[in-house]
Amino acid sequence: MTTAKTGLTAKRTAVLRSTREVMPDGTQEAIRKATRAVGRATAGVRMLPDFIVAGAQRCGTTTLYRLLVEHPAIVRPLFHKGIGYFDVGYDNPWSWYHGHFPVAPVAAARTRKVGRPMTFDSSGYYMFHPLAAGRIAQRLPDVKVVTLVRDPVERAFSAYKHELARGFETEDFETALALEPERLAGEVERMHADPSYQSFHHRHHAYVGRGRYAEQIVRLQEALSPEQVFVIDANRFFDQPVEQFARLQEWLGLPVRNPAKVEQANARPSAPMPDSLRSTLLDTFESSDTELTRLLGATPSWRR
């Protein structure tokens, strides 16, 4: 893609993003409902995702999403990033999910100069949701899944700040960590017993749980296959974004395109975590990080 075209794509993305930010309350949801209705009605001529960005939350999924939608061979899902079908939206019909993706002939026309079009789903709760992997494998057995992992201590703190800002958390960080076992007790079992059950605590208060990456990756690998799951070390991704993004593009079968720049999205700066708490949390994640080392065949960046 030429520099001019790259600039135009970036400008279009920025305009769309700013437009959504100034829409009156309720307007975005009304547009989404209308878009979904049209999508369902035309589901039979729409694409299904070639790959899924499944999480983990607060590990760079939004940054990766923005890089992907600027790729000339990618045609983005309709209107918004997170579809959330395989976690909290699974009671919707398949046509509801299918309707979120581009019309196949239109997508092919848009990417004719660079090859076959691809589209994708990016929903950050899929990786942690205990039923999502099995649902993905049942509906999309050949799909590829991309996961991102980062220092689980920093991820936990970032998730806490995110939930606090959204009003889903009211406690200080240390109290929230102490409450996590009580909040999550029995929730996974209840989700298995009643697949329609949506756990507020599991979704919003699993600061330590979501950072145990190894068990989540294994769940995806067992539901699909190890060859279908790609793991990105987010710390390395932000240190070497061009190189790491190129690796992903090659794995997906995309023509490699180097972005002009990579800006980290949704970062929440704050006061540093006390050293004693960081040390305690790092010990908490030791066994999971050891298993992650085995899965990756390399030591995670934050353990070096």
Distance CA 169, CA 164 (A): 5
> Average pLDDT in the 168-195 region?
98
pLDDT one-digit tens code per residue, 55-105: 999 999 999 999 999 999 999 987 667 899 999 999 999 999 999 999 999
The larger pLDDT score, comparing residue 102 to residue 260, is at 102
pLDDT confidence of residue 39: 59
pLDDT confidence of residue 30: 63
Q: How confident is the model at residue 168 (pLDDT cuts 50, 70, 90)?
A: very high
Backbone angles phi, psi at 84, to 5 degrees: 70, 35
Residue 256 token pair: 């490699």
pLDDT confidence of residue 16: 46
State the helix-helix crossing angle for 241-252 and 61-69, rounded to 10 degrees: 70
Distances (CA, A) of 303 to 44, 58, 280, 282: 47, 19, 14, 9
Residue 1 has pLDDT above 80, yes or no: no
Backbone angles phi, psi at 80, to 5 degrees: -140, 165
pLDDT confidence of residue 6: 42
Residue type, 21: E
The larger pLDDT score, comparing residue 120 to residue 81, is at 120
Distance CA 271, CA 143 (A): 40
Element containing residue 66 per DSSP (H, E): helix 61-69
Q: How confident is the model at residue 40 (pLDDT cuts 50, 70, 90)?
A: low
The larger pLDDT score, comparing residue 243 to residue 15, is at 243
The larger pLDDT score, comparing residue 23 to residue 244, is at 244
> For the chain, what is the mean pLDDT?
88
Distance CA 56, CA 237 (A): 14
Tokens 């990786």 label which residue? Answer: 127
State the helix-helix crossing angle for 275-284 and 152-166, rounded to 10 degrees: 110
What is the third-level CATH fold of 3-263+271-299? Rossmann fold (3.40.50)
CA 41 to chain centre: 27
Sign of the dihedral through C-alpha 148, 151, 153, 159: negative
Sign of the dihedral through C-alpha 85, 88, 92, 96: negative
Delimit the domains of the chain by residue range. 3-263+271-299
The larger pLDDT score, comparing residue 201 to residue 5, is at 201
